[in-house]
């Protein structure tokens, strides 16, 4: 008899197993710890500026390019999600993968809207300010590109212009409520995407689905493109990536597991989307503990990507890359 059938037949007895209480503690304790630490860590972090949401980290890149990329990523994500829904219905949301992909889609919807508003505000600024901010609007760029040599004095002048503009950005107003929501969704998506892709390709495919799981194009794409979309956006954007927002990543995953438990307790579903979520096995607490711990390296992995950008890009592109966060 399968574990899902056993759960359906045992009813309440299934939820009185010792594994349920241990696994429940592994859900409640991280959630409580994240909720307790979040206010303290948030007060110590630097505030998020409104311009961080839509100004690229590349000095000569017009904000419109970041807007264009975000709109493209949003359209592609919506198309993939719609195709999956059309093929399988709302049952796709039994899977953490679809939760994560939906969250990534929501992020790009927020990001596209913020970039569009930022570009509109940017277009209203004086031409002088715009010229100082991005060389592509300045006639000096054509002269620099066509010139075979640039004097040290001119390089210094260009650098001073960029520094002057980005000092203005540093004094911009703080992000509002929706801007902070966008930042939270961005970092939650980043951690969840790393967890989804690492779990799928490193655990589920080789151990559970190797012989009985056929990788469809849409499924394959969702476990790859979600990370690609976000990483490219991270390369272009100027948003900070503080550690304390890992708490929202924990909230997100715990909400998903709670959702699965409620579905099974109400009898709405008799099978587990992921084998390691099944509570009938004596090894269930080990799986739950392992997945809880995995949140730390997965979030740290994406943090490393952003950290590497801030560390190496200024050295590789000293006149093009400007970090203001």
Dihedral of the CA atoms 98, 101, 105, 110 (nearest 10)? Answer: 110
Distances, alpha carbon 2 to alpha carbons 64, 70, 96, 177, 272, in Å: 54, 44, 22, 48, 11
pLDDT band of residue 237 (cuts 50, 70, 90) is very high
Average pLDDT over residues 73-92: 92
pLDDT in tens, 283-319: 999 999 999 999 999 999 999 999 999 999 999 998 8
User: What is the percent of the chain where pLDDT is above 90?
Assistant: 55
Position 164 pLDDT exceeds 80: no
Decide if pLDDT at 18 tops 80. yes
CA 52 from chain centre, in angstroms, equals: 16
Please give the structure tokens belonging to residue 15. Answer: 């939820």
Task: For residue range 131-157, list pLDDT tens digits in order.
Answer: 544 444 344 434 444 444 444 455 555
At 259-268, the pLDDT tens digits run 999 999 998 8
* Average confidence (pLDDT) over 106-115: 97
**Helix extents (H) in 45-149:** 63-88, 96-124, 127-133, 139-146
pTM: 0.81
- Given a contact cutoff of 8 angstroms between Cβ atoms, the answer to whether 129 and 165 are in contact is yes
**Cβ-contact 58, 322 below 8 angstroms:** yes
Q: Report the alpha-carbon distance of residue 2 to residue 7 in Å, rounded.
A: 9
| Residue 291 token pair | 């997945």
pLDDT recorded at residue 274: 87
Chain-centroid distance, C-alpha 46: 20
Predicted pLDDT at 324: 61
Phi, psi of 9 (to 5 degrees): -80, -35
């Amino acid at each position: 008899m399968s574990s899902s059938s056993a759960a359906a037949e045992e009813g309440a007895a299934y939820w009185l197993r010792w594994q349920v209480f241990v696994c429940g503690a592994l859900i409640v304790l991280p959630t409580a710890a994240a909720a307790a630490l979040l206010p303290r860590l948030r007060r110590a972090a630097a505030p998020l500026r409104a311009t961080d949401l839509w100004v690229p980290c590349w000095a000569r890149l017009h904000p419109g390019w970041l807007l264009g990329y975000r709109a493209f990523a949003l359209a592609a994500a919506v198309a993939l999600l719609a195709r999956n829904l059309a093929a399988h219905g709302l049952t796709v949301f039994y899977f953490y993968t679809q939760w994560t992909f939906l969250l990534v889609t929501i992020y790009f919807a927020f990001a596209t809207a913020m970039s569009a508003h930022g570009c509109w505000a940017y277009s209203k600024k004086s031409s002088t300010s715009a010229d100082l901010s991005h060389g592509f609007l300045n006639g000096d760029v054509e002269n620099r590109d066509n010139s075979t040599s640039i004097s040290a004095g001119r390089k210094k002048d260009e650098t001073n212009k960029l520094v002057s503009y980005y000092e203005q950005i540093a004094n911009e107003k703080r992000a509002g409520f929706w801007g902070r929501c966008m930042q939270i969704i961005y970092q939650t998506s980043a951690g969840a995407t790393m967890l989804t892709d690492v779990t799928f390709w490193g655990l589920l495919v080789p151990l559970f689905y190797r012989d009985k799981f056929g990788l469809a194009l849409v499924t394959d794409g969702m476990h790859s493109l979600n990370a690609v979309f976000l990483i490219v956006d991270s390369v272009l954007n100027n948003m900070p990536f503080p550690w304390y927002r890992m708490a929202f990543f924990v909230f997100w995953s715990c909400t998903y597991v709670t959702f699965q438990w409620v579905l099974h307790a109400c009898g709405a579903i008799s099978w587990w989307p992921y084998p390691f979520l099944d509570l009938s096995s004596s090894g269930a607490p080990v799986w739950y503990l392992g997945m809880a711990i995995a949140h730390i390296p997965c979030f740290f992995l994406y943090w490393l990507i952003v950290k590497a950008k801030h560390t190496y890009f200024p050295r590789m592109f000293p006149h093009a890359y400007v970090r203001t966060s």
